[in-house]
């Protein structure tokens, strides 16, 4: 059996590809973030903030559109020239810009608003961080997004006049540190899961390939065990298996090449083998490949098994084979004129004949064909002779 071929594999590139695919599934979070941004703008809208809120919203909208278009391009391979590594640079830039945008808004809006407005701002920016949690699969993007947000919230509370501003500032900073630690821990676990997924796929490919090779080897062994090596027709073992499954009316034609020893001695074994192959091919062309069987019993002796047939048809098939074999010399397939003698045995209703009995009858009919001058077909019972047409 041939050795298993090596399947090209680059673990890090495959992991990066899976990370990008995971990020592509978070596209809906950008839509929700746009909704949250509009809610935050509405809660803080005033004549003094209107211009800056519109400017902030416009920038965030621009970043979100870039992110969504990038996801679409990656999914549909619209920019095949960009490698996965090139895409990661773009992704990091987008998430950093988005995070800075949220962080600047928090740093600006928390100090200038009242406590209710500050609550709305912090709730929405923390919700934005929550929406980005699936990005932990690519932790660089997540950290570039969440860190500016927490720092912006901390700065906003530090600048605010609220009673517990320093406590809220400290809490925001601690949340930033915890978010980094959690993202790194979860990122490692997800990365390990991705590696395991890739390893499993690699193993599945190798097992599938090995299974296919074993299946091919088994088919070759089956063919070797059921096929005659020289003529490529079935062998005796395959004949026995086929015969056990026979039902209904069928017939056996036992065929023997006339004076084959003389042919072999005259022209040599190589030419003798060529003669056997030519006769076997003639037999195969004379039967129905999906219903009948040709087998080589040994030497120059063959057997034809015809299913769903009667004695009359079996005799006609045998006569057709005899005439075709006698024309092999005219077609330059053999070195001299070759003839074949055949005995036919067919089922005659109940009780059903065993293969061994039919083989005996066909062999007896073949013996009579040889005794009566060869190049003829003899039926087992009744003993009907079909002479060659001169």
Same domain, 42 and 184: yes
Q: Is residue 55 part of a domain?
A: yes
Q: Which of 204, 224, 245 is the last residue of a domain?
A: 204
pLDDT at 137: 80
Nearest by Cα to 94 from 74, 114, 118: 74
Same domain, 106 and 244: no
Instruction: Give residues with Cβ within 8 angstroms of 377, minimum separation 6.
Output: 315, 318, 319, 322, 341, 342, 343, 344, 369, 385, 386
pLDDT at 12: 58
Q: Which of 183, 204, 225 is the last residue of a domain?
A: 204
Q: Is residue 166 part of a domain?
A: yes
Q: Between 165-226 and 236-244, two packed helices, what is the crossing angle to 10 degrees? A: 100
Residues 314-340 pLDDT 10s: 999 999 999 999 999 988 889 999 999
Residue 135 and residue 1: Cα distance in Å, rounded?
46
pLDDT at 50: 93
Strands 377-379 and 301-307: unpaired
Cβ contact 232:322 at 8 Å: no
Cβ contact 338:373 at 8 Å: no
Residue 234 and residue 304: Cα distance in Å, rounded?
10
Same domain, 265 and 183: no
Structural domain boundaries enclosing 370: 236-386
Same domain, 124 and 56: yes
- Using the structure block, give the residue that is written with the tokens 């800056």: 52
**Strand, coil or helix: what is 80?**
coil
pLDDT at 85 over 70: yes
Confidence of residue 111 (pLDDT cuts 50, 70, 90): very high
Instruction: Give residues with Cβ within 8 angstroms of 260, minimum separation 6.
Output: 272, 275, 299, 300
* Side-chain half-sphere CA neighbours of 39 within 13 A: 16
Q: Residue 360: how many CB atoms within 10 A of its CB?
A: 17
pLDDT at 241: 87
Who wins on pLDDT, 17 or 210?
Answer: 210
Residue 46 and residue 52: Cα distance in Å, rounded?
10
Same domain, 200 and 240: no
What ranges make up the beta strands (E) of 150-245?
A: none
Instruction: Give residues with Cβ within 8 angstroms of 172, minimum separation 6.
Output: 150, 151, 153, 154, 157
- Using the structure block, give the residue that is written with the tokens 């809220």: 168
Same domain, 194 and 305: no
Q: Is residue 6 part of a domain?
A: no
Residues 228-254 have a mean pLDDT of: 89
Task: Give the active site residues.
Answer: 300
pLDDT at 229: 87
Confidence of residue 121 (pLDDT cuts 50, 70, 90): very high
DSSP one-letter code for 136: G
Same domain, 160 and 258: no
Same domain, 269 and 368: yes
Same domain, 158 and 274: no
Q: CA angle, corner 377, sides to 371 and 380, nearest 5? A: 80
Q: Is residue 53 part of a domain?
A: yes
Q: Is residue 347 part of a domain?
A: yes
b/e map 331-341, b = 16+ CB within 10 Å: eebbbeebbbb
Query: Which CATH number do you get for residue 352?
Result: 3.30.70.270
Q: Is residue 359 part of a domain?
A: yes
Domain count, the chain: 2
Q: Which of 160, 180, 204 is the last residue of a domain?
A: 204
Residues 351-372 have a mean pLDDT of: 88
Residues 112-125 have a mean pLDDT of: 91
Same domain, 199 and 340: no
pLDDT at 377 over 60: yes
Same domain, 115 and 245: no
Nearest by Cα to 263 from 253, 276, 281, 254: 276
Q: If 0-12 CB within 10 Å is exposed, 13-18 middle and 19+ buried, where does residue 3 land?
A: exposed
Confidence of residue 52 (pLDDT cuts 50, 70, 90): very high
What ranges make up the beta strands (E) of 221-300?
A: 250-257, 293-298
In whole angstroms, what separates CA 123 from the centre of its chain?
Answer: 49
Write out the two tokens for 54.
């519109």
Q: Look up the pTM and report it.
A: 0.52
Same domain, 273 and 167: no
């Amino acid at each position: 059996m041939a050795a298993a071929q090596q399947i090209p594999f680059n673990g890090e590139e495959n992991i990066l590809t899976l990370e990008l695919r995971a990020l592509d599934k978070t596209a809906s979070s950008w839509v929700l973030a746009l909704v949250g941004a509009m809610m935050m703008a509405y809660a803080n809208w005033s004549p003094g903030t209107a211009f800056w809120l519109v400017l902030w919203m416009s920038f965030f909208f621009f970043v979100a559109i870039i992110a969504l278009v990038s996801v679409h391009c990656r999914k549909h391979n619209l920019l095949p020239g960009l490698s996965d590594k090139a895409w990661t640079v773009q992704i990091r830039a987008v998430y950093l810009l988005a995070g800075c945008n949220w962080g600047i808004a928090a740093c600006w809006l928390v100090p200038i608003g009242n406590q209710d407005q500050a609550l709305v701002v912090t709730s929405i920016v923390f919700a934005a961080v929550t929406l980005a949690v699936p990005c932990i699969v690519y932790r660089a993007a997540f950290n570039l997004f969440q860190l500016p947000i927490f720092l912006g919230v901390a700065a906003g509370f530090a600048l605010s006049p609220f009673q517990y501003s320093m406590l809220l500032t400290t809490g925001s900073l601690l949340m930033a540190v915890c978010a980094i630690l959690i993202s790194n821990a979860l990122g490692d676990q997800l990365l390990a899961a991705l590696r395991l997924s890739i390893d499993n796929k690699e193993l599945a490919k190798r097992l599938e390939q090995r299974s296919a090779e074993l299946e091919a080897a088994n088919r070759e062994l089956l063919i070797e065990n059921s096929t005659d090596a020289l003529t490529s027709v079935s062998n005796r073992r395959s004949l026995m298996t086929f015969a056990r499954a026979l039902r209904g009316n069928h017939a056996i034609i036992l065929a023997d090449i006339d004076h084959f020893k003389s042919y072999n001695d005259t022209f040599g074994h190589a030419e003798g083998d060529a003669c056997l192959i030519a006769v076997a091919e003639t037999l195969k062309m004379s039967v129905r490949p999906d219903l009948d069987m040709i087998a080589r019993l040994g030497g120059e002796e063959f057997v034809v098994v015809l299913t769903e047939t009667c004695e009359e048809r079996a005799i006609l098939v045998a006569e057709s084979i005899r005439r075709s074999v006698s024309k092999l010399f005219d077609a330059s397939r053999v070195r001299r004129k070759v003839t074949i003698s055949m005995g036919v045995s067919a089922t005659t209703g109940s009780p059903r004949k065993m293969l061994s009995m039919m083989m005996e009858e066909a062999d007896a009919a073949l013996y009579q064909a040889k005794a009566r001058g060869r190049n003829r077909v003899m039926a087992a019972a009744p003993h009907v002779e079909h002479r060659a047409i001169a």
